[in-house]
Amino acid sequence: MTYFGFHLRFNLPILALLGILSGPALVQPGSLAAVGLVLLAVFVFTIPWDNYAAAKGIWGFPRDRFSLQILWLPLEEYLFFAVQALQAMLLVRAICDRFGAFETIVSTAPLADRAPALGLLLLGWAVAGCFLHRRARGRFHYAWHLLYWFAPVLSLQWIIGWEILLPRTAILAAVTALLGTYLSLADRIAIRSGIWWIDPRQTTGHRIGRHLPWEEACFFYLTSLLVAQSYLLLLPEPLR
């Protein structure tokens, strides 16, 4: 099975099913703008992260399993960025439309009051980068690369938009659990089939089953959550 064949069997059918469940809501004017911004952010954010990991050998792709290589990644890997993001947004849309509107919390605190929390977050991120980056190699490399890149962004979104996210924690939990679990199971099949590989020397060695490192599963849960949060934050209030 090639990487594109994997998309045809596992990723595109789920995308089509979610498209049917959500209907035309995703392409409403306000929603469509949010979709475009999220997709842009996904590519800008993920391309350097994924290319770095492939260049460092955290993971890789056998040459006979993909069509075209751009930088260190297959073309099909870039396609996956868009497919997963659309899956997450369609699932958010389907849940929101079926369970009605959610009231955003009205906060009387000015945005400036969040500056100390933002400052502490950025300071902690910078300190961790300076003092722990070189130590987080070897078997902790994948975990470090994942958590250092994604955890601050998830925290930043909650600091800025907790009034929007807090009433929708059930939506976020459902999207994260459903999509993260499905993608993790599909990824296990891909690794077992040799479509891509993950360097065991750069993971902690704890696996789900025989083939799936916990770091890889964590990636799918975190990215599903990140896309869902981003989409909700960018949606106009009537569409949330």
Q: Summarize pLDDT for 68-111 with one digit per residue, the tens.
A: 999 999 999 999 999 999 999 999 988 887 776 565 665 656 66
Cα–Cα distance, 145 to 46 (Å, whole number) = 12
DSSP 1: -
Q: Are 158 and 230 in contact (CB under 8 A)?
A: no
Most confidently predicted of 14-23, 98-107, 188-197? 188-197
Q: What is the pLDDT of residues 194-206, one digit of tens each?
A: 999 999 999 998 8
Mean pLDDT throughout 54-62?
A: 95
Mean pLDDT throughout 23-41?
A: 85
- 214 has a pLDDT exceeding 90: yes
